[in-house]
Structures are given as structure tokens and as C-alpha cells.
Amino acid sequence: MALEIEDLEMRDFLSVCPPLRRLNDKDLDALTLATEVSYARRESKVLEPDTVNHFYYLVRSGAVEIFTPDGKIHSHVCEGEWFGYRSSTTGGKVMMEIKALEDTLLYQIPSDVMIPYLEKYPRVSSFFNEKKAIRLRNAISEKKDDANRFGKLSSLSIAELMNPAVAVPPHMAIQDAVKIMSKKNSSSVIIQQKDELLGVVTDHDLRDRVVAVAKNLQTPISDIMSSPLMTIPKDSRICDVQLIMVQNNIQELPVMEGNDLVGVITARDLIKAQGQNPVFLVADIYRATKLSKLHAIAANVPELLHALVNQHLSSEEIGKIVSSIGEAINVRLLQMAEMELGKPPVPYAWGVAGSMARCEQIAHSDQDNALVLSDDFVEEEHGDYFRALAKYVSDGLHACGYIYCPGNVMATNPEWFMTVSQWLQSFRTWIEQPEPKALMYSSIFFDMRMIYGEKALFDPVLAYVREFAPKNSIFLSYMMANSLQHRPPLGFFRNFVLEDHGDHHDVLNLKKRGVIPIVDMARVCGLASGATVVSTKERLKQCAGSDCISDEGLQDLRDAYEVINSIRLQYQARSIENDEEPNNYVSPKDMSGLERRHLKDAFHIVNTFQDSMARHYHVESL
């Protein structure tokens, strides 16, 4: 039967409502024809307890309220949201009263019509699933599908962007290699001996290592190559290419198929597909010679964040890219400080903490850093140098938008300016004497990651933590108790508990109430299992097989983390688009019904695991 004109508007609405957009055109037409329309006046009852319901209800316009058996509000259902599906799939018995909050237009789909589509489309079925973890997993899967459909980088393969590789033997003269590059119109040449890839020479290398120093053109090309050589498999994702380039400040990657060199992909290839490209931002950072230039580059981070969100990348991928830019600014400031102050008098390492250390930074934030000094450090001889270095970097970061830490967790603070032995003693004290201040410091510095200098200086501290933290059950219990201070904002009946903060009223703080609880639990679970990583998702992965949480539970928590962060990113991107400062506050009124549903599911999972962790670590006995 053909659709009438009045049916077309209904079909258009159904086609964009999750999860019906999954239906093919033929099935969507059939469902439209089977859908009934009803109208509920304000305050009228739509469903009553102990009656029978055989419909899936979809709010076309208006809103309804669902009440618990004792008359309290359970939830609101607005335009584009569903209700009634629980009773219609469990024998039809209605358990709660549903009343129109205002004049409301409803679409009603009979259960016997809907059920075949649930069987045919797993994604549709999982949308109506009672298990929150399954619904979240479906939401993440849909986001990946959106990335493949709408994200330029995600929808392209390496094979579509890569160029033919040009390879030459290591003994070839520079002049001959350049002639081949010119003939092939290539910006690089791979140095290859039989099946072994030895290194790469790029246009930049020729400029800096040949032309600038007037090097003899008959010199073997291997004398100026960059080595060792990083490669990427042909079946990798484009976003993986981008991340490797950003994290390692390289602009070309040889592409491998098994052991065979099949091409090369460059940052310029990504530019053609993407537009705003973090690889060039990082390259500009390392070329900067003045603080003003770094400040100008850092000002591009919000625009980059907006572009990455619109590419439909995961929050994990976005966090790694944005954190790599902040890390590059740290490193370049340290290099500039050394150029101004001279060679360091003793070995040192520069560490970062917080979201940058975990590779989870998604916007400019305050700086958290520290200095780890060799035990050869002598205050009278070396103190002035490192104080000047710390001040140079901290001031530079502040100028670039990474503001001074309100808690003074910076290398300019003498407390976080220590030798290896002093750091080791501090960590030992925190573990053995878990007082409130020690727990606060543990939450900061147990995430610390060295990004510059003699990074191995910190290895003895890491080794101590991995050996002794899992053995100290009292310390872990206090750490878990400390992590449970931040609870997801859900009331008893799964309504959002809103808060006021400054100019923000009736909002959800997605970082404080959603992200941080998962970060904190992952930290404790990571310490208990001796994890060797600090990022939240990687910690949860390394906890697999531990006795504190099941593998399925770990996956649920990772999914909840991704959903909360994705919604947080979406609203930060909207703020940037509107020339507003991005923040962590979201009003439920501004969210779609589907976003509210996903957020409640995620919060419920976090709440459940907080309760489970409290029992496992005997928090109530402290």
C-alpha cells in the first residue's frame, strides 16, 4: 500500500528517531502504515497500573511523566522518546502510571507489529533492552557507524590516501637519490637494504642536513637518514596514522603489507582529507623559537577539538591527540629553556600529571608538573638552574593557556622538585601512611608520566609502586574510599540530581560526577593489579582477570566512560562553535532524550560499580 501525504510526515519523523533509522525503506514504510496516532490532553492518564498495554509509545510532540507506585515522579519522556515498551514485551501488565504533562501527540506501534523488527534488527532490539550495559554498547557501536558514514578520516582507508614508496640502497649518493625523488615527485625516500627498512630521508632532511651545511652530494644517503624507522600496517585506520604522527612529530609513514613496503602516507595526505590537522600543529610547535609563536599555536587547540569531534572520533582518540599537543608544548618549552640556560648540570626528567599524563586531555586546563632530579643533585650547585628552568616552563605554559595549578602542583613548588631518592621516600610514605593529604597526593602523582629528559630516572619509583601498592590492602581501601567521594548525579528514582556552580544553574558536572569517579576507580584497580599504564581505559584493560571486578564489568565501565566523555565533548564542541568557553557543565534541558537516556544508563553503571568496589575493599570498616 502506498503512503498517503499525511503518512509521509510520520515516516520522516520515524526515520530519524533512534532506533528506527536502522530500518530499510521497505520496512519503514510498512511500520509507518501500521502506526496509530493518539492525542492526550494535559493531566490525562495515558497508562494506569494493573491495566494491559500492547503498544510501543513514541512521543511526537509534548511530554509525559511516569510515576512510581507511591506517587513520586520516576521520569519525564519528551519528544522523540519512547515509553510503554517494558509492559508491552512482558505480558502487557502496566506497573506505573503515565500522565500527559502537557497536550501530547503520540504514535502507537502495536507490539505484534514491532516484535518482528526486533528479531530482524539486533540494534533495534538492543535499544529496548532492559540491560543498561547492552544499551550503552549499542550507543558506542552507533557512534562508530556514524564515524564511518560521516567522518572523513574514518571513512577513508590508507590505501586510498597513500602514495607509491620510493626506496634506494644505503650506499647511493645523495645527489642520485635526490634525482630519483624529483623524477618520482616524492617528498621522501626510504633507505632499504634487501628486505630491511633502515631509515627515511625527507625534503626537510635534505634542507637541514645537506643544503644548510653544504654537505658533499656524493655522501651516501644513509649518512643523513632518520632512523629507526616507524611504519604502519596497511589495514590500520587513518586516525591511527594521525595519532602516530602527532605523538612522534613525524610527517611521513611507510605503509606495510606483511613484510612488504607498499606505499607511504604523509601529513599532507591527511590535510587533503581532513582540513585542520594536528600533525602540522605539532611540527610548528617544535619549530617555534619564541613564546609568542607557541601561544599562537596553542590558540588553535579549541578549533582542533571542534574538528576532531566533528570527525566522530572516539573520546579516547581525541584525548590522545589533544594531550600530545600539550605534551609537545611542554617539551618545546623545556628545549627553549635549555637553550637559554645552558646544558643541565645533572640529569633530570620532567613529569606531567592529571589528564595530560593519562592522555585524556580534551581542552586547555591547568598545568600539573614536577621535576625528578638525579641523586647527584646538590642544592648549592644546581638549585638555581632547575628553579629557573621550572619557572621558564611554568610561565610559558600559563601564557599558552595551561594556567597555573590552583593547588600549586607544579615544578616551581619545592615540594615537587625532588631527587629520585626523595620521590621514592614520598611514595613510600603515601603508601604506608594513607592520611588524607597522602591520599590526595597519591591521586595526583600515581598518574605521573615522564615526557622529557632522562625518563628512566623515575623507573625505581614505578617499580616500588608496582611491587608494594598491591600488597598494602589498607592503603588500597583508603584510596578506594577517597575515590568514592564523587558520586554520579542520580536520585533514588534515576532522576538527575542537578547542581549550581557560579553562573551555571541546574546543571550536570560531567567531569566531576561522571568522568572522575571512573578515573579514580580505575586508578585503584590499576594499583591493585600492578598495571604498567596510567590511562583510564588501558588501566581497566590491564585489570582483566583480577579478583576485584569481572571482565564483563570492566567492559561496562569502559563503555560508560566513553559515553559520558562523548556527550561532554559534543557540548564542548557546541560551545566552541558558538564562540563560548568550553566547560564541563550540561543542562538536561539542552540534551536530547537519547542523550539523557545514555547518560542515566552510564551513571547507573558507575553507581553500581562504586557500590561493588566499596564492598570489595571493605570501605565501611575504615
Give the integer Cα–Cα distance in Å for 369 and 139.
Answer: 36
User: Which pLDDT score, from 0 to 100, does residue 330 have?
Assistant: 97
User: Which pLDDT score, from 0 to 100, does residue 385 have?
Assistant: 97
Alpha carbons within 13 angstroms on the beta-carbon side of residue 367 total: 26
Give the integer Cα–Cα distance in Å for 169 and 199.
Answer: 10
pTM of the model: 0.77
User: Which pLDDT score, from 0 to 100, does residue 274 have?
Assistant: 59
Provide the 8-state DSSP code for 617. Answer: T
Instruction: Give SS3 for 200.
Output: strand
Provide the 8-state DSSP code for 515. Answer: I
Give the integer Cα–Cα distance in Å for 489 and 603.
Answer: 7
Alpha helices in 288-419 (DSSP H): 291-298, 301-310, 315-341, 354-357, 379-399
User: Which pLDDT score, from 0 to 100, does residue 4 have?
Assistant: 73
Give the integer Cα–Cα distance in Å for 405 and 551.
Answer: 36
DSSP β-ladder status, 252-257 and 232-233 = parallel
Give the integer Cα–Cα distance in Å for 622 and 619.
Answer: 6
Buried b (16+ CB within 10 A) or exposed e, 442-454: bbbbbbbbbbbbb
For the chain, how big is the Rg over CA atoms in Å?
28
Q: Are 558 and 540 in contact (CB under 8 A)?
A: yes
Report the side by side order of strands in the sheet with 97-100. Answer: 45-47, 97-100, 63-67, 73-78
User: Which pLDDT score, from 0 to 100, does residue 492 have?
Assistant: 46
Beta-bridge mates of residue 101: none
Burial class from Cβ neighbours inside 10 Å (0-12, 13-18, 19+) for residue 312 reads buried
User: Which pLDDT score, from 0 to 100, does residue 97 have?
Assistant: 93
pLDDT tens for 476-527 read 999 999 999 888 887 644 567 777 767 777 889 999 999 999 999 999 999 9
**Secondary structure percentages of the chain, helix, strand, coil, to 5:** 55, 15, 30
What residues in the chain have per-residue pLDDT under 70?
Answer: 1-3, 130, 142-156, 272-276, 364, 491-495, 501
Q: Which residues contact 80 (CB under 8 A, 6 or more apart)?
A: 17, 58, 59, 592, 593, 594
